[in-house]
Amino acid sequence: MLFRNIKTILQLSITLSIPFIQGCGLIFGGDQKVDTKSKDYDYLRLDKKDDWTVLQENFSEKPGEQGDIAFEHKTSGAIISMNSVCSGVKEVKLESLTKNLLMGLQSTSSSETKKIKISGINALETTLLAIPSDDPARKTVKIRATVLHYNGCSFDLMYIAQPELFSAHISDYEEFLNGFHIR
């Protein structure tokens, strides 16, 4: 049940981010096609490790709502994912991207936020305990979301795990972040 809960959070975050990006395209003008993905990045393949598997590539059934890649830990069900959306918008506040990414989640504690750099680009990293707003089981998960914006594309990288197992895989997430490079 918890594995499905984590997958639901991942799908919810992608589904909720698409209308926001489309709205930005309408406000700022330009090409209204917003379901394009960036191809100008490289990432660490966690499935090369024994304990991670590809959850799914392009993991949405709806066009325009596809994540780029997600990995699932074989025993804990933790998920590490990356999604890109290219909308042509030149500048987006990282706080806005984070807020949109976490929409639909009810935070159960104060979040920790810090500015970092990924591939030499400013990024915002947020860690929190949360419950999906529509989760009848009310299972809490711990999330670390990292967002950045570069050359008209927004990237979100996420780590989602059971709170008691979060520290067990945080080094894999940090390795994933270090292996993410925009070309």
CATH number of the domain bearing residue 76: 3.40.1000.10
Greater model confidence, 106 or 180:
180
Provide the number of structural domains found in the chain. 1
The pLDDT of 11-38, averaged and rounded, is: 45
Greater model confidence, 7 or 52:
52
Range name among 25-34, 54-63, 112-121, 146-155 with the lowest pLDDT average: 25-34
State the Cα angle at 5 between 78 and 83, rounded to 5°: 60
How many CA atoms are closer than 13 Å to the CA of 142, on its beta-carbon side?
13
pLDDT greater than 80 at residue 2: no
Is the overall model pTM greater than 0.85, yes or no? no
Cα–Cα distance, 124 to 120 (Å, whole number): 13
The pLDDT of 37-52, averaged and rounded, is: 90
DSSP 8-state class, residue 165:
G
Cα–Cα distance, 87 to 122 (Å, whole number): 19
Domain that holds residue 172: 2-182
